[in-house]
Amino acid sequence: MSMQVIPRGASSTYELMSNFLVQLRRVQQLKIISFHNEWTERKYEWKCSSDENPQHQFCPEGEDSWCKWRKAEAKNELDQFHHDKPPLIPEVQVAIKPVFEDLSKDELLIRCLGAETQNNNEYFSLLIWTFAPKHLHSGPKIVEIASYLSVITFNKDFEDVLKVMSVMGCRIGREAHTYVEKRDEMRISRSERRVSDAVKQARIDSRAKESDLKEFQEEEEGILYGPGITD
């Protein structure tokens, strides 16, 4: 697995991304419903916006705009306007831009149109943390081994993990085989239950009701938040 090298001075990239994920989740919910690919791209531009290089060309104009910069523009007060937060440093902008571009691709949206999470990816991550728990410190080698074992388990089953142990010289007894057989049966049964049509449809209907309720509240009370509201 290749990792992009973050330049010195951009060590807080991962903290920034953690904060962005909370905001992007709201943007992605609106984006999935409306299928507007430009939302994530605009979010990136807003995070790069500064007093010297404002990035608000996509914000609605006028004094009633939710964009503070556009409001100041309408009132001819741009000389007094200052962004609440500093822009991302250039190194961070370069490092995270591919992430925003990937989030704007139709391939991602098509897989999320049902408002479902990417369970396969989440399950793979869960496997890694099973072998290398988050609450325990694990060095690069341990995480690498955990990743390899997770790939084996994800693509095949726990039986293949026993093969790895056998190659390493471990003696595999009957109890170990019995355990992995039960573990695989439980995993398959759980997966089939989750993807059953009845469960999936109930999940979609539930989220549709929540979406309708949000739309009703927005129409009655006005949109209290949206892309760029925190700008």
Q: Looking at the chain, how many residues does it have?
A: 231
Within the chain, what is the greatest distance between any pair of CA atoms?
80
Residue 35 predicted with pLDDT over 60: no
- pLDDT value at residue 6: 44
Residues 161 and 152 sit within 8 Å (Cβ to Cβ): yes
Instruction: Read off the pLDDT band of 130 (50, 70, 90).
Output: confident
Segment among 68-72, 104-108, 137-141, 173-177 with least mean pLDDT: 104-108
Nearest CA among 225, 221, 231 for reference residue 71 = 231
Distance between CA atoms of residues 70 and 77, nearest Å: 10
- More confident: 12 or 223: 12
Distance between CA atoms of residues 188 and 193, nearest Å: 9
C-alpha dihedral, 149 to 151 to 152 to 154, nearest 10°: 120
Residue 98 predicted with pLDDT over 70: yes
36-73 tens-digit pLDDT: 556 666 777 878 888 888 888 778 888 888 888 888 88
